[in-house]
Amino acid sequence: MIEKITYIETENTNPYHNLALEEMLLENVEKNQCILYLWQNKNTVVIGRNQNSWKECKVEFLEENGGNLARRLSGGGAVFHDLGNLNFTFLVHKENYSVERQLQVIIKALEKFGLKAEKNGRNDITIDGRKFSGNAFYQVKDNCYHHGTLMVNVNMQDLSKYLNVSKDKLKSKGVDSVKSRVINLSSLCEEITISSLKDKLFEAFGETYNCTPERLDEECIDKVLLQEKIEKFGSWDWKYGRKINFQYEISNRFDWGDIQLQFGVKSGVIDEIGVYSDAMEQDFILNLAQLINNTIFNKTAICEKLSKYQCKEAIEEKMLNDIVDLIKEQDI
């Protein structure tokens, strides 16, 4: 049961600082506490935990224009953040974790502006079918977070300028472009600004959890540990990972997301593997790479290894079956 709700906002617009602070809050949230963290990134492409940075983002073009590439802990796809976007994170112990209740804070805040928002699919929030928020989720041990974007006044020209959005992904959404399926909240209600939306979110937070929110000052955060995490999120290894010297590649898009497998093979054995995906199940994707590595490079051996994976949820079982079927179709 939630007995204490806390909110924190940062004026820092550096994505590595903001992702580091998010992780610190996750590690330190109390058992009966819910934290609402509000933050903004300046000109940043944020990719999901298991995505291929070069495939998802026009990295050189982004950096030439003074932008940043960042990789978050959660799964899902790549998004562009500018100062017309407000990010939110709910951090809570797993016993009190409720996506429906957390989303109610967003929905209730927008009701105060006369707007009717609703959850659409697994991870979008829409108004009249137009998306203004994409969400993602992460859990470590007993602590969880649910975070997402709130498009207030995003520069639509920049929204897809730095992203390599596959035609298959757009087709699966039934649209022709990224811009055609999203909308800024300010275009629906002129009263909505970053500042006014923050105020309504704090009000709705208290109403939804029937508690008075307590403010957490960023000055209370351990600066030494925070700096260590900033360096991690800003490091080359974290942002880009290691490029695989691969000889074989398999890729496809399913209803749960895309999958790209790159195999480096030596003497008939997989000695390097890259598994990339915008699927929300980031741990499942990470585990696949570890499971397949050092396997004989033929479809029978790979599928046999995959069959040993212990799925935790029905969605993982479906993903595993789809990937096994895809590999069985290959001439390897």
Residues in CB range of 210: below 8 A, 6 or more apart: none
Q: Are 327 and 299 in contact (CB under 8 A)?
A: yes
List Cα–Cα distances, 11 to 7, 17, 86, 195, 325, in angstroms.
Answer: 14, 11, 11, 12, 48
Q: What is the structure's pLDDT at 166?
A: 62
| Distance, CA of 309 to CA of 288 (rounded, Å) | 8
The three-class DSSP label of residue 251 is strand
| Distance, CA of 151 to CA of 83 (rounded, Å) | 10
Of 269, 278, 277, 276, nearest to 298 by C-alpha is: 269
Q: What is the structure's pLDDT at 244?
A: 79
Vertex 131, ends 128 and 136: CA angle to 5°?
135
Q: What is the structure's pLDDT at 241?
A: 84
Tell me the pLDDT of the chain (332 aa) as tens digits.
999 999 999 999 999 999 999 999 999 999 999 999 999 999 999 999 999 998 999 999 999 999 999 999 999 999 999 999 999 999 999 999 999 999 999 999 999 999 999 999 878 999 999 999 999 999 999 999 999 999 999 999 888 899 987 655 544 444 444 555 899 999 999 999 999 999 999 999 999 999 999 999 998 999 999 999 999 999 999 999 877 788 999 999 999 999 999 999 999 999 999 999 999 999 999 999 999 999 999 999 999 999 999 999 999 999 999 999 999 999 89
Q: Give the distance, in angstroms, between the CA of residue 33 and the centroid of all CA atoms in the same chain.
A: 23
Q: Is 82 left (phi over 0), alpha (psi -120 to 50) or beta?
A: beta
Q: Which two tokens stand for residue 14?
A: 């550096």
Computed on alpha carbons and rounded to an integer, the radius of gyration of the chain in Å comes to 20
Q: What is the structure's pLDDT at 177?
A: 46
* DSSP label of 57: B
Of 28, 24, 19, nearest to 73 by C-alpha is: 19
Q: What is the structure's pLDDT at 173?
A: 46
Q: Are 91 and 37 in contact (CB under 8 A)?
A: yes
Q: Return the biggest CA–CA distance within the chain.
A: 64
| Distance, CA of 132 to CA of 145 (rounded, Å) | 20
Q: Does pTM surpass 0.95?
A: no
Task: Give every strand in the sheet of 248-254, ordered side by side.
Answer: 248-254, 257-266, 269-277
| Distance, CA of 248 to CA of 261 (rounded, Å) | 8
Of 73, 32, 26, 28, nearest to 49 by C-alpha is: 73
Q: Characterize 198-221 residue by residue with b for buried, 16 or more Cβ atoms within 10 angstroms of its Cβ, and e for exposed.
A: bebbbebbeebbebebeebeeeeb
Q: Which domains does the chain have, with CATH numbers?
A: 4-239 (3.30.930.10), 242-328 (3.30.390.50)
